[in-house]
Structure 1
Amino acid sequence: MKAMKALRELPLHLMLLPGALIVFVYCYVPMVGVTIAFQQFVPVKGLFGSEWIGLDNFRYVLNMPDIGRVVWNTLFISVMKIVAGLTVPIAIAILLNEVRLQFFKKTFQTLVYLPHFLSWIIISGILIDILSPSEGVVNRIVQALGGRSVFFLGDNGWFPFTLVASDVWKEFGFSTIVYLAAITGINPSLYEAAVMDGAGRWKQMRHVTLPGMLPVIVLLATLSLGNVLNAGFEQVFNLYSPSVYESGDILDTLIYRIGILDAQFGVATAIGLLKSFVSLILISLSYFLAYRLANYRIF
């Protein structure tokens, strides 16, 4: 019986083979390069010819004068993105749920969903134009209202918040769809019972809509813990400049500059390995919390 079952499932396993092979080649084979973190790596000598220096690269990283600031920038930007990325879509989803004009509702959903499909290269070009301190439309509006021009992409005080605002603008439409789906799964009889008890729209939102969305909110919030050290390399790389390194330099951009521009491959790999190790712990913690708080399982 088991042999017949295994024979029936054989085509399904064969279908998985190409995907498993691709994952092995592109995700597991490159892990051999982790050894660079423990070497004075010289590309000409290769992985097996470079000098083994143990933990010297890690000591160098921990003694770098800017490493504390870079870690803080990474945590500050990513935590703000996580918080804003949860609150804004939830609020928009609740407001859209109250809209009764279907044409407006669908049109708005489509418009806010479109930026998700644009790359950060395109969006960075748009942001550089509209946020320009001299010719940008945003600063022209600020000046027309009596304010002073703001260098959003060149001021250390404004740059992190500009990153968060642009990231939310790009992604909140996609996240809104998830929360709208959660709202549609709420039993309509709960709203009917709330109306019978005299609850208005505000109380229905507080006592029916939000509790109904809570499992999805908890799930996405806990899963987002794994991205605490991922502040968005593509976005920061396309928008930052040396003038905002103090507030905008993150771990990924530091790895890029040290590894690609300065050719310190061992140091860059050491930073990446430390980041991956911490991310592994955070991802494991997020899945554990998702299981305990939202009954979410991978398998």
Structure 2
Amino acid sequence: MNGYVRRALPIYAMILPGLLYFVVFKYIPMLGVSIAFMNYSPFKGFFGSDWAGWSHFRRLFAEGEFWLLLKNTLLLNLLDALFFFPAPILVALLLNEARVKWFKGAVQTILYAPNFVSWVVIVGMTLQLFATGSGAINNLLASWGFARIELMTDPHYFRPVWLLQNIWQGAGWGAIIFLAALSAIDPTQYEAAEMDGASRSRRLWHITLPALRGAIVILFILRMGHIMDLGFEHVFLLQNPMNREVSEVFETFIYKVGLNQGDYSYSTAVGLFKSAIGLVLVLTVNKLAKRMGQEGVF
């Protein structure tokens, strides 16, 4: 064993737990993707089940619900990209401008706290406030002579509620990355710009935002990889028979077909389709970012 390897052993030891995690929980389970090409039966197992080729994918594209699932998934992701993705950036910029330390710390704590509240609690609180017959706010509105707000059953409210809850829970926590990028800016740049007569908006445009560009591009590329993912738990908890036309997405469909109906091969094929779309988008957006002079993810 040469000297270089001997000196690097502590580093390899530090890498080993993370490497084992990815091998055991990420790479080995990828063998299960083969179920998408089988008529899988738990009783026959991997080696005893019959191969089905591409039949499950053909079934997916011929499924009457496919376009509904695709439309709902893409619409929610578009709302997420337009409103939720910029929210942590805005929060970080506002916190960066705060000069009173105790106030800044208090606001950060308040904004970070919702991240530790589960979706079950968040949706449960919303239900308690806006339930049609017993919601506290609806009862208050009724006592004042106003119409009740059918927040949980009217399909028109599903997307705004889903988006606002996402922003409330994740905007403060997501701002941590951007605050870390802002902390790396040399304060002398602001001082020099101020001495040259640059206004606060000019300093924001020419110093602050360029410092965030790299983080924004990388997070946007990674976000494109999850464009077919919305988070099963949140959507499932908000979903009911009244709003199913706007709330049924690939994740809830996979749950119903795979676990409730036991059609493991078909649900795996749907999941593989989602992953393939995400991979293509990550590769495409990463290449475009590099052509525009950004570093990209790889």
Q: TM-score, normalised by structure 2?
A: 0.88
Q: Is the deviation greater in 253-262 or in 189-198?
A: 189-198
Aligned-partner Cα distance in 2 for 1:141–1:210: 44
For 1:175, give the aligned amino acid: G
Matches within 5 A, 1:37-52: 37-52=36-51
2:268 is the alignment partner of 1:269? yes
Matches within 5 A, 1:1-299: 3-137=2-136, 139=138, 148-289=147-288, 291-292=290-291, 293-298=293-298
Cα displacement (A) at 1:173: 0.6
Q: Which amino acid aligns with 1:180?
A: L
What's the secondary structure of 1:24's corresponding residue? helix
Aligned residue type for 2:54: L
Q: For 2:214 and 2:142, how far apart are their aligned partners in 1?
A: 45
| 138 and 185 in structure 1: CA distance in 2 versus 1, 3 angstrom threshold | farther
| CA positional deviation for 1:271 | 0.6
Q: Distance in 2 between matches of 1:138 and 1:15?
A: 53
- Return the alpha-carbon distance in structure 2 between the equivalents of residues 193 and 20 of structure 1: 45
Q: For 2:148, give the aligned amino acid.
A: S
Distance 1:200 1:11 in 2: 50
1:248 positional shift: 0.8
Secondary structure at 2:44 match in 1: coil
Q: Which amino acid aligns with 2:295?
A: N
- Contact kept in structure 2, 1:58 and 1:271, CA below 8 Å: yes
In structure 1, what residue type is equivalent to 2:41?
Answer: V
- Residues of 1 paired with 2:66 and 2:175: CA distance? 36
Say if 1:27 and 1:204 are closer, same or farther in 2 by CA, change over 3 A. Answer: closer
Query: Does the 8 A contact of 1:219 with 1:296 survive in 2?
Result: yes
Specify the SS of the correspondent of 1:294: coil
Matched to 1:238, the amino acid is: L
Q: Which amino acid aligns with 1:130?
A: L
For residues 131 and 115 of structure 1, what CA distance do their matches in structure 2 show? 19
The answer (yes or no) to whether the contact 2:158–2:246 under 8 Å persists in 1 is yes
Q: Give SS of 2:155's match.
A: coil
Does structure 1 retain, via aligned residues, the 8 Å contact 2:158–2:238? no
Cα deviation code 1:139-173 (max 9, x no counterpart) = 46777898643222222111012111101110001
Residue identity (%): 35
Q: How many residues align?
A: 297
**SS class of match (2:46):** coil
Per-residue CA deviations over 1:1-33 (Å, capped at 9, x if unaligned) read x82212332343344444433432322222222
Amino acid at match of 2:101: Q
Unpaired runs of at least 5, structure 1: none
CA distance in 2, matches of 1:207, 1:138: 45
Shift of residue 203, structure 1, vs aligned partner: 3.6
Which runs of 5 or more structure 2 residues have no equivalent in the other structure? Answer: none
Give me the whole-angstrom Cα distance separating, in 2, the residues matched to 1:161 and 1:146. 25
Spell out, residue by residue over 1:113-159, the C-alpha distance to the aligned partner (whole angstroms, 9 max, x if none).
Answer: 01112222222222222332444455467778986432222221110
1:295 maps to a residue whose letter is E
- Supply the distance in 1 between the matched residues of 2:21 and 2:235 (Cα, whole angstroms): 29
**What whole-Å deviation, never above 9, does each CA across 1:156-205 have from its counterpart, x for those lacking one?**
11101211110111000112222223333333333334333444333433
Structure-2 change in CA distance of 1:8 and 1:175 (3 Å): same
Q: Provide the rounded CA distance (Å) in 1 between the counterparts of 2:47 and 2:155.
A: 43
Please state whether the residue corresponding to 1:243 is helix, strand or coil. coil
